[in-house]
């Protein structure tokens, strides 16, 4: 007789004895086509593990999911005594039956096994790294700084001489020391000491406080190495201070981190800053994309990868603006990014989404030159043109601020689908070069224009259903997506887009266009516009979609494909990941319904 595979999740979390006891309690059941195996709203005496056949999860007439061999249902009916849907055999089906009493006993005794049955998606997500690899492959970047290697703090007084500082470094075998100067503490490095003595010709008796840096960038020892990497990247520092209870206890260098993993994002800002030509920037652009793959291989969380990549891409675009923009454009212009780049949620490079606002008119020849040169340079870096032409080379998205504000008013008054799309795109804009106040003024004007425009907000909200087919539920979006196999899901269309856009329209209504989707959700919660628990579940679902999409995009890149990079084959996924994806899709369905009700979309 076929036996249950206890090496597959979540049964791989059981001890040998627990697995053997469970095997002794298992039965097998056969279900004819059309048989209702578990009824919605009722408890189930068994957890079902499919051997063969197909089972549909239905809510009334809507088909929400299809289960196949290896799938498990319905944990909710077993643990929480209430099935979320009807589970109906679509064809002849065989299932293992695992008694509810045994499952509940294991849930209470084994935390790893219990994680599979959590109702909250956020708790499942937190448990996923341990479940995926019992050895813990969170990577060295998930190591806490206190557990990593860094140099211990060496202190000298601010009145000490440069010569004394050099001796202190030599004796401690370090290249930097802390300078204690009364109520302030600074750092002096060996390189700065050398420059002071050899280039500036300062006397050896000069007090070290004269060359110390007192704006010290620091990180707490309880934070992670990936957090240190992000701080180094943003501050363009190669070493940062380590603190415990706000006391300086050491210095962490980029070389300390590089000794633990192969990555160089903290070096890329310097490369960008030193660039003097488009050719110089090309290598940095390539390094940014390579760094994404390195961090992903290390198991770094997708939010951290997005943050690092967003910071580096902003620097890249800003430097390119500085290099190619004519003086009149540099002096009057504000370059901004939109889309996933604007929200700080892009990891793998996609098409260009950028614009330019001018505080005052610039010569048309200069503007035309910049539009062409900037776009071509980005293309050479691997940023393809935007299919919708939402980019600098389009005069609609690169014009003086007065004209652009008039365009915003036209869109607001039109309140049609095209206007709604353009306003949604601009809502994600973030300045990366030039006078940021120009963009800030335009976004403030947008908020004022939209306030109270219920018809426009409803039109914007309608975009959440751009790719949805309601009568088939989750699977409807799969079947409606041209070119994908039946078991494939487009993670962008079915997952990330509804979440991102739903948060965007709520933010427009509540005057809070904070940068990322997470920041928008937190702002909405703080204003009482969104339930905190539901917001957490939505953000956990977004993390799942982003993780899967990043893996899919990197895999497609390795295979030289640029098409269908958001498609994931559900049938090929591990059981636990497939279960979490289903939970995430259910969250999307609930959020989409919330938006429909909030903006009365059923009547439009």
Q: What is the pLDDT of residues 122-167, one digit of tens each?
A: 666 666 543 333 333 345 677 789 877 788 899 999 999 999 999 9
Residue 476: per-residue pLDDT: 43
Angle at which helices 278-297 and 364-381 cross, to 10°: 40
Q: Name the nearest CA neighbour of 446 among 422, 468, 467.
A: 422
Q: Specify whether 290 is located in the same domain as 175.
A: no
Residue 46: per-residue pLDDT: 94
Residue 136: per-residue pLDDT: 34
Domain boundary among the residues 91, 126, 161 is at 126
Query: Is residue 73 a part of any domain in this protein?
Result: yes
Residue 416: per-residue pLDDT: 93
Q: Specify whether 432 is located in the same domain as 490.
A: no
Q: Name the nearest CA neighbour of 583 among 2, 87, 118.
A: 118
What are the backbone dihedrals phi and psi of residue 229, each rounded to the nearest 5 degrees, phi first? -60, -40
pTM of the model: 0.71
Q: Note the Cα 205 to chain centre separation in Å.
A: 51
Query: Is residue 4 a part of any domain in this protein?
Result: no
Q: Specify whether 107 is located in the same domain as 33.
A: yes
C-alpha to C-alpha distance for 306 and 311, rounded to whole angstroms = 9
Query: Is residue 62 a part of any domain in this protein?
Result: yes
Q: Specify whether 288 is located in the same domain as 400.
A: yes
| In 227-300, beta strands by DSSP E | 239-244, 247-253
- CATH code of the domain covering residue 209: 3.10.580.10
Query: Is residue 245 a part of any domain in this protein?
Result: yes
Residue 112: per-residue pLDDT: 79
Q: Which residues of the chain have pLDDT under 70?
A: 1, 118-140, 259-267, 467-487, 561-565, 603-604
Residue 475: per-residue pLDDT: 42
Residue 119: per-residue pLDDT: 58
Residue 115: per-residue pLDDT: 76
| Cβ(474)–Cβ(583) below 8 Å | no
Q: Specify whether 118 is located in the same domain as 218.
A: no
Distances (CA, A) of 53 to 26, 60, 147, 238, 547: 19, 22, 50, 58, 30
Q: Specify whether 355 is located in the same domain as 335.
A: yes
Tell me the CB-side half-sphere exposure of residue 110, using CA atoms within 13 A: 21
Q: Specify whether 302 is located in the same domain as 439.
A: yes
C-alpha to C-alpha distance for 194 and 45, rounded to whole angstroms = 76
How would you list the strands of the sheet with 398-400, edge to edge?
A: 398-400, 354-358, 333-337, 430-434
Query: Is residue 239 a part of any domain in this protein?
Result: yes
Query: Is residue 465 a part of any domain in this protein?
Result: yes
Residue 471: per-residue pLDDT: 42
- CATH code of the domain covering residue 558: 1.20.120
C-alpha to C-alpha distance for 371 and 182, rounded to whole angstroms = 53
Query: Is residue 414 a part of any domain in this protein?
Result: no
Q: Specify whether 307 is located in the same domain as 431.
A: yes
- CATH code of the domain covering residue 351: 3.30.460
Domain boundary among the residues 262, 286, 304 is at 262
Beta strands 155-157 and 176-181, pairing class: parallel
Q: Name the nearest CA neighbour of 73 among 575, 555, 574.
A: 575
Residue 189: per-residue pLDDT: 93
Q: Name the nearest CA neighbour of 503 among 591, 589, 415.
A: 591
Q: Specify whether 299 is located in the same domain as 439.
A: yes
User: Domain residues for 155?
Assistant: 145-262
C-beta neighbour count of 63 within 10 angstroms? 20
Q: Specify whether 367 is located in the same domain as 339.
A: yes
Residue 220: per-residue pLDDT: 95
Q: Specify whether 438 is located in the same domain as 319.
A: yes
Residue 480: per-residue pLDDT: 36
Domain count, the chain: 4
Q: Specify whether 107 is located in the same domain as 251.
A: no
- CATH code of the domain covering residue 79: 2.60.120.10
Query: Is residue 131 a part of any domain in this protein?
Result: no
Residue 558: per-residue pLDDT: 74
Residue 265: per-residue pLDDT: 61
Residue 500: per-residue pLDDT: 96
C-alpha to C-alpha distance for 255 and 241, rounded to whole angstroms = 14
């Amino acid at each position: 007789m076929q036996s249950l595979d206890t090496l597959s999740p979540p049964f791989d979390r059981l001890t040998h004895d627990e697995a053997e006891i469970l095997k002794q309690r298992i039965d097998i059941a056969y279900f004819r086509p059309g048989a209702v195996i578990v009824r919605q709203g009722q408890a189930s005496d068994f957890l079902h593990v499919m051997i063969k056949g197909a089972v549909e999860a239905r809510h009334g007439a809507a088909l929400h999911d299809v289960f196949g061999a290896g799938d498990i249902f319905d944990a909710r009916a077993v643990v929480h005594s209430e099935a979320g849907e009807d589970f109906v055999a679509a064809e002849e089906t065989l299932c293992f039956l695992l008694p509810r009493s045994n499952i509940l006993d294991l849930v209470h005794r084994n935390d790893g096994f219990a994680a599979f049955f959590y109702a909250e998606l956020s708790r499942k997500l937190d448990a996923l790294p341990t479940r995926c690899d019992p050895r813990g492959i969170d990577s060295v970047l998930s190591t806490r700084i206190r557990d990593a290697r860094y140099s211990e703090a060496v202190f000298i007084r601010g009145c000490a001489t440069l010569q004394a500082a050099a001796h202190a470094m030599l004796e401690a075998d370090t290249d930097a020391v802390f300078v204690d100067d009364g109520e302030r503490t600074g750092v002096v490095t060996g390189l700065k000491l050398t420059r002071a003595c050899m280039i500036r010709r300062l006397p050896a008796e000069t007090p070290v406080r004269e060359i110390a840096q007192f704006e010290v960038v620091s990180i707490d020892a309880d934070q992670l190495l990936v957090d240190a990497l992000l701080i180094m990247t943003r501050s363009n520092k190669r070493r940062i201070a380590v603190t415990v209870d706000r006391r300086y206890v050491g210095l962490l260098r980029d070389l300390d981190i590089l000794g633990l993993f192969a990555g160089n994002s903290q070096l890329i800002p310097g490369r960008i800053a030193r660039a003097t030509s488009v050719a110089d920037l090309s290598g940095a652009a390539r390094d940014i994309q390579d760094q994404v793959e390195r961090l992903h291989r290390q198991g770094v969380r997708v939010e951290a990868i997005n943050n690092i990549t967003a910071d580096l891409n902003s620097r890249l675009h800003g430097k390119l603006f500085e290099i190619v923009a004519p003086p009149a454009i540099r002096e009057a212009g504000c370059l901004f990014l939109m889309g996933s780049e604007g929200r700080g949620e892009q990891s793998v490079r996609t098409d260009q989404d950028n614009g330019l606002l001018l505080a005052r008119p610039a010569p048309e020849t200069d503007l035309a030159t910049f539009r062409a040169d900037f776009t071509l340079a980005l293309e050479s870096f691997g940023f393809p043109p935007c299919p919708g032409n939402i980019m600098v080379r389009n005069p609609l998205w690169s014009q003086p601020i007065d004209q652009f504000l008039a365009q915003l008013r036209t869109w607001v008054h039109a309140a049609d689908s095209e206007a709604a799309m353009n306003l949604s795109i601009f809502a994600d804009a973030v300045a990366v070069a030039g006078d940021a106040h120009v963009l800030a003024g335009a976004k403030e004007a947008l908020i004022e224009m939209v306030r109270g425009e219920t018809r426009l907000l409803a039109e914007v909200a309608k975009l959440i259903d751009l790719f949805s087919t309601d009568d088939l539920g989750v699977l409807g979006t799969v079947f409606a997506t041209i070119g994908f196999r039946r078991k494939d899901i487009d993670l962008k269309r079915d997952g990330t887009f509804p979440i991102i856009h739903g948060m965007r329209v709520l933010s427009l209504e509540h005057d809070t266009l904070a940068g990322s989707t997470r920041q928008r959700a937190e702002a909405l919660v703080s204003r009482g516009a969104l339930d905190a628990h539901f917001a957490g579940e939505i953000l956990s679902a977004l993390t799942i979609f982003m993780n899967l999409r990043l893996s899919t995009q990197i895999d497609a890149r390795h295979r030289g494909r640029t098409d269908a990079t958001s498609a994931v084959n559900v049938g090929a996924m591990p059981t636990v990941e497939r279960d979490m994806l289903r939970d995430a899709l259910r969250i999307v369905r609930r959020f989409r319904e919330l938006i429909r009700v909030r903006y009365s979309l059923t009547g439009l």
